């Protein structure tokens, strides 16, 4: 019984005391993610900064299970665009997800394939619900790590392709010292040629 993950703690601010899998996403693995390709190349030339990490608690990938873990998006910007996750739909579209803010400030960008979009604030103690069929991306708009706990159905899977092709409708950019949602021209162009 001791192998079952009945409980885990967030320690040192941004790590789980027990996890089975650690995903690292340094800048070099995120080509094409940020809108300003030149700013991306300039930053990469200065060093391969860690953009985000995920600590996963492994469970069988089947319906009835919940996959949980911790997402840590480090603070930073490429050009004016805040560090963020790749973002994805679930492969099984009819699966939801819940996030809980542990530390830091940020936004969860969401969008539907039909064109709807939404944004929710992350802060410590706040939960954010992602309904079935909504793509989701975490954005760190603060100066410290954005740490969130997540849980989603075991059989959900991840579909990164649609977001890699079209991006999100909105970019989150720093303007006058504040995060602002800005229309993503690349998304509009990708939609026209579909």
Q: Which is nearer to ligand PAN, 131 or 175 (CB)?
A: 131
Q: Based on the shown chain and the rule CB under 5 A, indicate whether residue 145 belongs to the binding site for Zn ion.
A: no
Name which of 148 and 179 has its Cβ closer to ligand PAN: 148
Q: Of 81 and 97, which has the nearer Cβ to Zn ion? A: 97
CB of 30 to ligand PAN, least distance (A): 9
Q: Residue 54 touches which of ligand PAN, Zn ion, none (CB < 5 to 8 A by kind)? A: ligand PAN
Q: What is the contact mask toward Zn ion in residues 62 to 101, using x (rule: CB under 5 A)?
A: -----------------------------------x----
Minimum distance of ligand PAN from residue 123's CB (angstroms): 17
Rank residues 25 and 175 by Cβ distance to ligand PAN and give the closer one.
25
- Look at residue 14 and give the partner it binds from Zn ion, ligand PAN, none, a contact being a CB closer than 5 to 8 Å depending on partner kind: none
Instruction: Give all strands (DSSP E) within the chain, no chain letters.
Output: 10-11, 15-16, 21-26, 50-57, 66-73, 77-78, 81-82, 89-90, 97-103, 106-112, 117-122, 127-130, 134-140, 146-153, 158-159, 170-175, 178-183
Structure tokens at 185: 């021209």
Partner from ligand PAN, Zn ion, none binding residue 82, C-beta < 5-8 Å depending on class: none
- Is 53 among the residues that bind Zn ion (CB under 5 A)? no
Give the full edge-to-edge strand order of the sheet including 134-140: 117-122, 106-112, 134-140
Give least dist CB 53 to ligand PAN, A: 9
Find out whether 121 and 107 touch, Cβ atoms under 8 Å.
Answer: yes
Smallest gap from residue 176 Cβ to ligand PAN (A): 28
**Between 89 and 187, CB nearer to Zn ion:** 89
Q: How far apart are CA 104 and CA 145, in angstroms?
A: 6
How far apart, in whole angstroms, are the C-alpha atoms of residue 175 and residue 182?
10
* Residue of 84, 164, 94 lying closest to 134 (CA atoms): 94
């Amino acid at each position: 019984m001791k192998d079952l993950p009945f409980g885990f703690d967030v320690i040192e601010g941004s790590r789980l005391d027990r996890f089975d899998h650690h995903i690292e996403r340094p800048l070099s693995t995120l080509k094409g993610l940020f809108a300003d390709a030149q700013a991306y190349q300039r930053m990469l030339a200065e060093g391969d900064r860690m953009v985000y990490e995920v600590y996963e608690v492994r469970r069988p990938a089947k319906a009835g299970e919940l996959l949980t873990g911790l997402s840590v998006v480090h603070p930073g910007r490429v050009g004016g665009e805040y560090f963020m996750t790749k973002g994805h739909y679930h492969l099984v579209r009819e699966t939801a997800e819940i996030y809980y803010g542990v530390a830091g400030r940020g936004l969860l960008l969401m969008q539907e394939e039909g064109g709807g979009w939404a944004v929710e604030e992350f802060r410590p103690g706040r939960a954010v619900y992602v309904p079935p069929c909504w793509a989701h991306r975490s954005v760190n708009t603060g100066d410290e790590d954005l740490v969130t706990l997540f849980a989603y159905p075991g059989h959900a899977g991840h579909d990164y392709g649609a977001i890699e092709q079209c991006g999100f409708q909105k970019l989150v950019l720093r303007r006058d010292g504040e995060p602002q949602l800005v229309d993503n021209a690349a998304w509009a162009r990708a939609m026209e040629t579909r």
